[in-house]
Structure 1
Amino acid sequence: MKLLRFFIRYFPPGIILEYEEGGSIKTKSIDLLDLTSDSDPDELLVEIQNSEPLITDSRAEQVKELIHRLQQKQAHNSSFSLHQEVHVHLLPLTNVAFNKSGSKFITGSYDRRCRVWDTTSGQQLLSLEGHTNIVAAVSFNNPYGDKIATGSFDRTCKLWCAQTGICLHTLRGHSAEIRCLAFNPQSTLVATGSMDASVKLWDVKKGKEVATLKGHSAEILSLSFNSVGSQLVTGSSDQTVVIWDVASESLVHMLVGHTGEISNAQFNWDCSLIVSGSLDKTCKVWEAVSGRCVATLVAHTEEVLDVCFDSTGQLIATASADGTARVFSAATCECMARLEGHEGEIFKICFSPQGNTILTASSDKTARLWDVQTADCLQILTGHTLEIFSCAFNYEGDTIITGSADNTCRIWRCKDEA
C-alpha cells in the first residue's frame, strides 16, 4: 500500500487517507470522534501510528498539522448577533436549509414559492416558482450544493439548478401531499415521503422514479438516509419507524413500540443506531442491524416534537411540547442535561457542528443557545414576533438561521465573524 494524500473532515472530525493498493485507488478514514480542543496532539499521533501502518514517521508532522486544524474547529463559538432580518415571503415559512458552505440558504413557504438567499448580504438570489400549493420541504444536495429539491402539497417534487433557478425536473407520482424529502449523500437519488403512505426514490439526473417503498399504513412524516446512503429510515403517523435497504428497495425492519405518531427519526454517524421521537412523549433508541429497541427515553411530560444526534453520533437531543429539551448519552441512554427556560413548546432542536452547543426554536418567539455540558442557557435570540418553527446552523457553526411564522427569517452571525 502506498499513501497518496490526505483529506480532512471537520464534522465529525476525521482524516481521510487516499492510498494505492494493487493498482487501485482506495480511501479509508481515521475517525477522531473524541477529539477536543484540549486533546494532546502528540499522544493522538502515537495512537494513530500504532493503529494505522500508512502513517509512517515521514508523514507524522503532516498528520499532526491536520490534528491542529481539526482542533481549531472544535473550539466554542462566542455569542451571536443579528446580522440580517430577511422579509422572505408573503405567508409563513415552512422550512429553511443551508447549503454546505453556508453561503446560501433556501426558504419554503405557504405562499407556494421557494427563495434562495445570500447569507452574507441577505439578498434574494433566486425565486423558485411553479408549485401550486404549500411548499413543505426544501433541501440542497449537500455536500455538492448545485441542486435543490422542493416538495409540495401539490403532490410533486421539483429539482432545480441552484445556480440558475431553472427547474430541471418535476417528479410526479404521489397521490397525496409530499411532507418530507432528502437527497442521498452521493446526490444520485432523492427520496420523497407522502401523505399517501409511500416513499418514492427518484433518479436525480434523469428525473425518473426508481422505486416506490410501501410498508407504512399512514402518512410519512420524516425520512433520512444514513451517512453512506445504503439505508433510509422513515417515520409515520402509523406509529412505526421503518428501515429500508436502498439497493434492493426492500423493507429491512419495521420498528414497533411507539404509541403515537413519529415526529422524527435519524441514524447516528456510524449507522449503528436510530433514534425516534414520538407524540407518545418518548424517544426510542434502536439497533439498526437487528431492529431491536435498545432503550426508551422517558423524560418529557408532553409530546416529543424533534430529536437528533450530534455529528459524532455520541449524543442525542430531544425537544418537547412541554417547553424543555434533554441531552442523552447515545452509549448509555442516560440523561446528561435538562435544558429549561423556554415558555412554550420547542419545535426544533439541533447541535452545533462542534457538538458543544444546542440550538432550540420555540413557540415563545425565541431561539436559545445552550451549553451541552452545563445545560446553561448561553443566549436568547429575540426579535421574531411569532413562533419560530425552524432553525439551523451552517457547516462551520458560525451562522444560524431562524424561520418564523411572522414571515421573516433572521440570520445570526458569531460576533467574532460579524
Structure 2
Amino acid sequence: MKLLRFFIRYFPPGIILEYKEGGSIKTKSIDLLDLTLDTDPDELLVEIQQSEPLITESRTEQVRELIHRLQQKQAHNGSFSLHQEVHVHLLPLTNVAFNKSGSKFITGSYDRRCRVWDTTSGQQLLSLEGHTNIVAAVAFNNPYGDKIATGSFDRTCKLWCAQTGSCLHSLRGHSAEIRCLAFNPQSTLVATGSMDASVKLWDVKKGKEVATLKGHSAEILSLCFNSVGSQLVTGSSDQTVVIWDVASESLVHMLVGHTGEISNAQFNWDCSLIVSGSLDKTCKVWEAVSGRCVATLVAHTEEVLDVCFDSTGQLIATASADGTARVFNAATCECMATLEGHKGEILKICFSPQGNTILTASSDKTARLWDVQTGDCLQILTGHTLEIFSCAFNYEGDTIITGSADNTCRIWRCKDEA
C-alpha cells in the first residue's frame, strides 16, 4: 500500500487517507471522535502511528498539522447577531435547508413554490415552480450541493439543478402526499416518505424509481440515511421505527415499543445506534445491528417533538412540548443537562457542528443557544413575530437560519469573541 494524500473532515473530526493498493485507489478514515482542545497532539499522533501503518515517520508532521487544524475548529464561535431578515413567501413556510457551505439556503412553502436564497445578501437566486400543492420537504444533496429535492402534497418529488433552477426530473409514483425526503450520502439516491405508508427510493441521475419499501401501516413522518448510505431509518404515525437495508431493499428490523407516533428518528455517526422521539413523551435508543432497545428516556412530561445526535454520535438532544430540552450521553443514556427557559413548546433542536452548543426553535417566537455541558442559555434570538418551526447551523457553525410561521427567515452570523 502507498499513501497518496490526506483529506481533512472537520465534523465529525477525522483524517481521510487516500492510498494505492495494487492497481486501485482506495480511501480509509481515521475517526477522531474524542478530539478536544485539550487533546495532546503528540500523544494522539503516537496512537495513530501505532494503529495505522500508512502513517510513516515521513508523514508525521503533516498529520500533526492536520490535528492542529481540527482542534482549531473545535473552538466555540461566540455569540450571533442578526445579519438579514428575508421575507421569503406570501404563505407560511414549511421547511428550510442549507447547502453544505452555508452560502445558499432553500425554503419551501404553502404557496407551492421553493426559493433559493443567497445567505450573504439575502437575495433570491432561484424560484422553483411546478408543484401544484404544498411543498412539505426540501433538501440539498450535500456535500455536493448541485441538486435540490422537493417533496409535495401533490404526491410528487422534483429534482432540480441548484445552479440554474431547471427541473431535472419529476418523480411520480406515490398515491398520497409526500411528507419527508433525504438524499443518500453519495447523492445517487433520494428517498421519499409518504402518507401512503410507503418509502420510495429513486435513482437521482435517471429519475427512475428503484424500489418501494413497504412495512409501515400508516404515514411516514421522518426518514434518514446512515452516514455510509447502507441503511435507512423511518419513523411513522403507526408508532414504529423501521430499519431498511438499501442494497437489498428489505426490512431489517421493525422497532416496536413506542405508544405514540414517531416525531423523528436518526442514526448516530458510526451507524451503531438509532434514537427515536415520540408523542408518547419518551425517546428510545436502539442498537442498529440487533434492533434491541437499549434505553427509554423518560425525562419529559409532554410530547417529544424532535431528537438528534451531535456530529460525533456521542450526545443526544431532545426537544419537547413541555418547553424544555435535554442532553443525554449516548453511551450511558444519562441526562447531562436540562435546558429550561422557553415559554412554549420546542419544535426543533440541533447541535452546532462543534458539538458544544445547542440551538432550539420554539412556539414562543424565539430561538435559543445553550451550553451543552451546563445547560445554561447563552443567547436568545428574538425578532420573529410567530412560532419558529425550523432552525439550522451551516457546516462551519458560524451561521444560523431560523424559519418562522411569520413567513420570514432570519439569518444570524457569528460575532468574533475578540
Give me the TM-score of the superposition, normalised by structure 1: 0.99
In the aligned structure 1, how far is the partner of 2:207 from the partner of 2:35?
41
CA contact (8 A) 2:79 2:417 kept: no
In the aligned structure 1, how far is the partner of 2:386 from the partner of 2:37?
38
How far apart are 1:51 and its partner, in Å?
1.2
How far apart are 1:50 and its partner, in Å?
1.3
Match of 2:126 in 1: 126
CA contact (8 A) 1:346 1:362 kept: yes
Deviations 1:45-88 (A, max 9, x none): 11111111111111110000000111111100110000000000
Question: Secondary structure, in 3 states, of the residue corresponding to 1:164?
Answer: coil
In the aligned structure 1, how far is the partner of 2:50 from the partner of 2:248?
39
Let me know the Cα RMSD of the aligned residues: 0.9
CA contact (8 A) 1:221 1:264 kept: yes
Deviations 1:191-237 (A, max 9, x none): 00000000000010111111100000000000000000000000000
CA contact (8 A) 1:398 1:417 kept: no
In the aligned structure 2, how far is the partner of 1:81 from the partner of 1:417?
12
**Residues 1:82 and 1:35: Cα distance change in structure 2 (over 3 Å):** same
In the aligned structure 1, how far is the partner of 2:42 from the partner of 2:417?
30
CA contact (8 A) 1:199 1:212 kept: yes
Deviations 1:7-54 (A, max 9, x none): 000000000011112222111111100111221111111111111111
User: Which runs of no fewer than 5 residues in structure 1 stay unpaired?
Assistant: none
Deviations 1:131-163 (A, max 9, x none): 111100000000000000000001000000000
CA contact (8 A) 2:276 2:284 kept: yes
How far apart are 1:374 and its partner, in Å?
1.0
Question: Secondary structure, in 3 states, of the residue corresponding to 2:61?
Answer: helix
Question: Secondary structure, in 3 states, of the residue corresponding to 2:127?
Answer: strand
Question: Secondary structure, in 3 states, of the residue corresponding to 1:65?
Answer: helix
How far apart are 1:277 and its partner, in Å?
0.2
**Residues 1:417 and 1:209: Cα distance change in structure 2 (over 3 Å):** farther
In the aligned structure 2, how far is the partner of 1:41 from the partner of 1:136?
46
CA contact (8 A) 1:366 1:388 kept: yes
In the aligned structure 2, how far is the partner of 1:400 from the partner of 1:37?
23
**Residues 1:228 and 1:417: Cα distance change in structure 2 (over 3 Å):** farther
Question: Secondary structure, in 3 states, of the residue corresponding to 2:82?
Answer: strand
In the aligned structure 1, how far is the partner of 2:208 from the partner of 2:130?
19
**Residues 1:261 and 1:34: Cα distance change in structure 2 (over 3 Å):** same
| Greater Cα offset, 39-48 or 133-142 | 39-48
5 Å-filtered alignment, 1:5-404, equals 5-404=5-404
In the aligned structure 2, how far is the partner of 1:349 from the partner of 1:329?
16
Question: Secondary structure, in 3 states, of the residue corresponding to 2:90?
Answer: coil
CA contact (8 A) 2:97 2:138 kept: yes
Deviations 1:115-144 (A, max 9, x none): 000001000000001111110000000000
Deviations 1:146-196 (A, max 9, x none): 000000001000000000000011011101000000000000000000000
Question: Secondary structure, in 3 states, of the residue corresponding to 1:71?
Answer: helix
In the aligned structure 2, how far is the partner of 1:49 from the partner of 1:190?
38
Question: Secondary structure, in 3 states, of the residue corresponding to 1:60?
Answer: helix
CA contact (8 A) 2:110 2:135 kept: yes
| Greater Cα offset, 393-402 or 23-32 | 23-32
How far apart are 1:304 and its partner, in Å?
0.1
CA contact (8 A) 2:97 2:105 kept: yes
Question: Secondary structure, in 3 states, of the residue corresponding to 1:406?
Answer: coil
In the aligned structure 2, how far is the partner of 1:174 from the partner of 1:193?
9
Question: Secondary structure, in 3 states, of the residue corresponding to 1:58?
Answer: helix
Deviations 1:267-295 (A, max 9, x none): 00000000000000000000000000000
CA contact (8 A) 2:77 2:417 kept: no
CA contact (8 A) 1:392 1:402 kept: yes
In the aligned structure 2, how far is the partner of 1:270 from the partner of 1:72?
23
Deviations 1:308-346 (A, max 9, x none): 000000000000000000000000000000000000000
CA contact (8 A) 2:272 2:288 kept: yes
Structure 1 stretches of 4+ moved >3 Å: none
Question: Secondary structure, in 3 states, of the residue corresponding to 1:20?
Answer: strand
How far apart are 1:416 and its partner, in Å?
2.4
Question: Secondary structure, in 3 states, of the residue corresponding to 1:64?
Answer: helix
Question: Secondary structure, in 3 states, of the residue corresponding to 1:158?
Answer: strand
In the aligned structure 2, how far is the partner of 1:290 from the partner of 1:257?
15
CA contact (8 A) 2:78 2:417 kept: no
Question: Secondary structure, in 3 states, of the residue corresponding to 1:59?
Answer: helix
Question: Secondary structure, in 3 states, of the residue corresponding to 2:254?
Answer: strand
How far apart are 1:417 and its partner, in Å?
9.8
Question: Secondary structure, in 3 states, of the residue corresponding to 2:386?
Answer: coil
CA contact (8 A) 1:95 1:390 kept: yes
CA contact (8 A) 2:306 2:320 kept: yes
CA contact (8 A) 1:213 1:250 kept: yes
User: Which runs of no fewer than 5 residues in structure 2 stay unpaired?
Assistant: none
User: Percent identical across equivalent pairs?
Assistant: 96
